[in-house]
Amino acid sequence: MDTLDHCPLCHEDQFQHFLTCRDHTISGENFDIVECEDCGFRFTNPRPSADDLGRYYESEDYTPHQDTSQGLIDTLYRWARLYTLRWKHRLVSSLIAHPPGRLLDYGCGTGEFLDLCHSKQWEVQGLEPDADAQKIAAQEYDLTVEDPEQIRAIPSDHFDVITLWHVLEHVPDLSKTIEQLQRTLAPTGTLVVAVPNCSSFDAQFYGEDWAAYDVPRHLSHFRPSDVRRLFNRFGMTIEAIRPMRLDAFYVSLLSEQYRNGWLPRAPIVALLSTLWAARHAHRYSAQLYLIRDRGTPWTG
């Protein structure tokens, strides 16, 4: 295990225990989430070392990296993914003046979104650390997906849009990753970042059983203020925040399962979370951030 001695967001060295959560998906182990006493950022600490982290993804039950349907929750996840694929394509197309353009999907999983964009004449590139997901992308979609380290070989100012669909919370080194993403983004490009929101109603309702904590795979646990502060450090600004409404239903179903709760309650909690978020700015279960370099004109 690696123990961080400073906050990944503000680099202060004083933090306190926030929650202890169980890895319900793979190991059954408990992991601590701490909260920075200076900025309030929450992160998993200690966390698996870089050499050990991969084994916490090695399971057919880890839905985002598998390509089979097993059980109700996995089936609902895949229906939701199919529904959102076209929405994602419409979104990225709206971010540039003359689509299609150049797209990087960072943490592209098995490549469904890349495949759709490629079919719409986008010039696409995918980076993904999971070797099994890379193989599926090659076999199913004839896509060449490389390890995230290969971002260093990509020319600067290259992509019109870079997407991270529920990826940033997995990233071990936030600063180095954002530096490379910013370097490869065109001056007028947009970074699209979707992450869970640990200040949402469903996060508060489920507490340590909230499925979007997903320790130890989720290393960072963001609130909107955390995302803003993080990208401000790199001279980038959030131009828009949009809800990802379906996430509350999926996360609530998993959370009820984790606490051996009453599954029919999950959609009620998800609906309450969505209604509560509508009255409290930027408090949806998961949110999408559209980010650009400061000073870039916004046309979205």
What does the pLDDT read at residue 263?
A: 86
Q: pLDDT digit string (tens) for 95-108?
A: 999 999 999 999 99
* Residues 252 and 291: beta-carbon distance below 8 Å: no
145-186: per-residue pLDDT in tens?
999 999 999 999 999 999 999 999 999 999 999 999 999 999
Class of domain 61-293: alpha beta
Segment 205-226 mean pLDDT: 98
State the virtual CA torsion across 22, 65, 285, 278 in degrees, nearest 10: -170
pTM: 0.92
Domain ranges of the chain: 61-293
Alpha-carbon gap, residue 253 to 239, rounded angstroms: 31
| Confidence at residue 300, expressed as pLDDT on a 0 to 100 scale | 54
End-to-end CA distance of the chain: 43
* Encoded amino acid at 286, one letter: A
Q: Is the pLDDT score of 14 beyond 90? A: yes
Q: How far apart are CA 83 and CA 145, in angstroms?
A: 23
- pLDDT tens, position by position, 100-144: 999 999 999 999 999 999 999 999 999 999 999 999 999 999 999
Closest CA to 192 of 227, 226, 225: 227
Q: Is 186 left (phi over 0), alpha (psi -120 to 50) or beta?
A: beta
As a whole number, the mean pLDDT across the chain is 92
